[in-house]
Amino acid sequence: MTERLSEETRGPLLGPLFANGWTMVDGRDAITKTFAFDNFVEAMGWMMRVAIWAEKWNHHPEWSNVYGRVEVVLTTHDVDGLSALDAKLARKMDSLC
């Protein structure tokens, strides 16, 4: 079962993500990042690659797309906050760019 990140695990898991452009969402235990692509096709292609991993891990992002921009929010609804799954999916998203 997935657990909410403890204070001890937040730094090691989230620190590298913050260094790579992720930020906390105001008022929520969630992280966010905006990904920019040259055009709509590249943005949608990236979203489809991410979707395969999200489905495999049964952990789905909150996201929206406008042309070459994809805004992502990650949180684990089952634990009402951040879990290791959010950090894992964020790292995967970064690696697929």
Q: Which residue reads 């008022």 in tokens?
A: 27
Range of the domain at 29: 7-95
Average pLDDT value for residue range 40-53: 98
Q: Is residue 16 part of a domain?
A: yes
CATH number at residue 24: 3.30.1360.20
Residue 16 has pLDDT above 80, yes or no: yes
What pLDDT score does 2 carry?
86
Burial label for 82, CB within 10 Å (0-12, 13-18, 19+), is buried
CA distance 96 to 49: 7
- Residue 23: pLDDT over 90: yes
Does residue 1 lie in a domain region? no
Within a domain: 55: yes
Give the global pTM.
Answer: 0.95
Q: Across the chain, what does the average pLDDT equal?
A: 97
Share of the chain above pLDDT 70, in %: 99
Quick check: 32 pLDDT over 80? yes
- The domain tally of the chain equals 1
For residue 40, tell me if it sits in a domain. Answer: yes
pLDDT in tens, 1-11: 689 999 999 99
pLDDT at 54 over 80: yes
